[in-house]
Amino acid sequence: MRCDQAAEMMSERLDGRLDPAGVALLEEHLAACSTCQDEWCRLQMLDGLLTSAPMVQAPVRVRVGVMARLSRRDQARRAIIGGTALSLGTVALTLLALAPLLLNVLDVTGIAPALISGGPATIVQLLALMGAVCRTMLALLESFAAPLVFLGICSLAVAIALNRLWVGVVGQMQATR
Amino acid sequence: MNTETEWIEQARAGDQVAFGRLVTAYQTPVYNLSYRMLGNASEAEEATQEAFLRAYTHLRSYDPNRPFRSWLLSIASHYCIDQLRRRRINWLSLEDEIAAPDGPGDAGRIRLASDRPRPESVVMQLEQEDRVQKALTGLSPTDRAAITLRYWYDYSYEEIADTLSLTVSAVKSRLHRARRALAKALEGEMMYAV
């Protein structure tokens, strides 16, 4: 057996993982090799030193620190969730309150819809577009209604006048016959 | 269902009081591992707290079939190995760390979990502790973790392999290498001890 193999077997023996056959082989090598005997002594002393080294006790403040950090983390999480909910609620209520005004502004400027995109903003955009279309149609009707009414009245007056004239002419012709 | 399992279930449901009981039960094993790995009381405190916070965060991924202590020590080991790798460039000597206490009075000095011995024994024990700790700092982070789990937690090769995500063969060779390095570093001290 080589010395490096023996060294590995020493480590295994300290860990109780060397079978009896391996122990016998190691003992045989140790009996013939003074270098490995010294190494075995050193490893055994080290094993004793480490085995007797005690567990280091945790200071009381470790537990206090863990619980404090957990508490702070929970508070921070609650603050984030609460703050987000509050912000969203405020924005939603503000949008609701200002919806008519926003629709008018969007209709007048026509720029805002281009700046708003995605999610709830898209709904506002669509509502604004619908509002704008409706208002445009009403404006067109208004712009066409007045002339039509005037022409209609004029036409009706002319029609009535022509009708009266025709009735008169026909009446005169019948009277002369 | 035993008490520990109940605490784990309650902690999983968000019960911080139950988690506090788990911290009380396991703070010393986690702290000792952190101290052996990092060699510094204040860093060990920070690592212990961080390991528990990570455990709380990932409690839902904990497999109840595995011992809770192993799971917890695995988290602490990986955290400490990461910390050691990060500070590799600014490696501090043990003398510097001992010379710079972490707070007023003897706050930086470690406390041993064993029975309180006589004053002269305390001095000798602390000196021996310092020597062992100094020798541990000469090991690579993973070798240090393997030796710590083997000697302070009596872990088998298989348990060390599971905790450190290594093969059993790698654990065997790491322990062998670490022992030889420690024996060399502590050679003079062991002669006095004998």
Q: With 90 as the cut, is the pLDDT of residue B166 above it? A: yes
What local confidence, expressed as pLDDT, does residue B102 receive? 46
Q: Which of residues 102-161 of B touch A (CB under 8 A)?
A: 107, 110-114, 125, 128-129, 132, 147, 150-152, 157
pLDDT digits (tens, 9 = 90+) for A68-109: 999 898 888 888 887 887 788 778 777 777 776 666 666 666
User: A139 is written with which tokens?
Assistant: 């404006």
Max CA distance (Å), chain A: 166
Reduce the DSSP state of residue A33 to 3 states and report it: coil
Domains and CATH numbers, chain B: 3-193 (1.10.1740.10)
B42 in A contact zone (CB under 8 Å): no
* C-beta atoms of A56 and B179 within 8 A: no
Mean pLDDT computed over B77-97: 72
Percent above pLDDT 90 for chain A: 22
Mean pLDDT computed over B156-166: 93
Q: Is residue B33 within 8 Å of residue B80, measured between CB atoms?
A: yes
User: A149 is written with which tokens?
Assistant: 């009414």
The predicted complex's ipTM stands at 0.75
Which is more confidently placed, A161 or B63?
Answer: B63
A7 in B contact zone (CB under 8 Å): yes
By C-alpha distance, the chain B residue nearest A4 is B176
What local confidence, expressed as pLDDT, does residue A144 receive? 67
What local confidence, expressed as pLDDT, does residue B176 receive? 93
Which range has highest mean pLDDT (B69-78, B125-134, B179-188)? B69-78
Q: With 80 as the cut, is the pLDDT of residue A61 above it? A: yes
B99 in A contact zone (CB under 8 Å): no
* C-beta atoms of B182 and A7 within 8 A: no
Residue of A18, A50, A52 for testing the chain B interface, max B β-carbons within 10 Å: A50
What local confidence, expressed as pLDDT, does residue B101 receive? 46
B30 in A contact zone (CB under 8 Å): yes
Q: Which residues in chain B touch residue A58, judged by CB atoms under 8 angstroms apart?
A: 27-28, 30-32, 45, 48
* C-beta atoms of B48 and A56 within 8 A: no
Q: Which residues in chain A touch residue B186, judged by CB atoms under 8 angstroms apart?
A: 46, 49
Mean pLDDT computed over A43-54: 89
Give the orientation angle of helix B41-57 with respect to helix B68-86, to 10 degrees: 130
Compute how many other C-beta atoms are within 10 angstroms of the C-beta atom of residue A4: 10
Q: Which residues in chain B touch residue A43, judged by CB atoms under 8 angstroms apart?
A: 179-180, 183
Contacts of B74 (CB under 8 A, 6+ apart): B162, B163, B164
Mean pLDDT computed over A53-69: 91
A70 in B contact zone (CB under 8 Å): yes
Q: With 60 as the cut, is the pLDDT of residue B89 above it? A: no
* Closest to B24 (Cα-Cα) out of A124, A102, A66: A66
Mean pLDDT computed over A58-69: 92
Mean pLDDT computed over A7-21: 91
pLDDT digits (tens, 9 = 90+) for A98-155: 776 666 666 666 555 555 556 667 667 778 888 888 888 888 777 766 666 666 777 7
What is the nearest CA distance from A84 to chain B, expressed in angstroms? 22
Query: Which range has the worst mean pLDDT, A10-19, A46-55, A153-162, B36-45?
Result: A153-162
Q: With 60 as the cut, is the pLDDT of residue B94 above it? A: no
What local confidence, expressed as pLDDT, does residue B194 receive? 47
Question: How far apart are the C-alpha atoms of B191 and B162, rounded to whole Å?
Answer: 35
Compute how many other C-beta atoms are within 10 angstroms of the C-beta atom of residue A23: 13
What local confidence, expressed as pLDDT, does residue A119 receive? 60
Tokens 């760390």 belong to B97
Contacts of A7 (CB under 8 A, 6+ apart): A36, A39, B176, B180
- When CB atoms are compared, the residue of A45, A57, A65 closest to B28 is A57
Which is more confidently placed, B133 or B112?
Answer: B133
3-state SS record for chain B: CCHHHHHHHHHHCCCHHHHHHHHHHHHHHHHHHHHHHHCCHHHHHHHHHHHHHHHHHCHHHCCCCCCHHHHHHHHHHHHHHHHHHHCCCCCCCHHHHHHCCCCCCCCCCCEECCCCCCHHHHHHHHHHHHHHHHHHCCCCHHHHHHHHHHHHCCCCHHHHHHHHCCCHHHHHHHHHHHHHHHHHHCHHHHHHHC
Q: Which residues in chain B touch residue A56, judged by CB atoms under 8 angstroms apart?
A: 28, 31-32, 35-36, 44, 110-113
Full-model pTM: 0.66
What is the nearest CA distance from A113 to chain B, expressed in angstroms? 43
Q: What are phi and psi of B14, to 5 degrees?
A: 100, 10
Contacts of A10 (CB under 8 A, 6+ apart): A26, A36, A39, A40, A43
Given pLDDT bands bounded at 50, 70 and 90, which one contains residue B103?
very low
Q: What are phi and psi of A119, to 5 degrees?
A: 60, -140
Q: What is the CA radius of gyration of chain A?
A: 51
What local confidence, expressed as pLDDT, does residue B190 receive? 61
Which is more confidently placed, A161 or B108?
Answer: A161
Q: Is residue A55 within 8 Å of residue B112, measured between CB atoms?
A: yes
User: B51 is written with which tokens?
Assistant: 């390991």
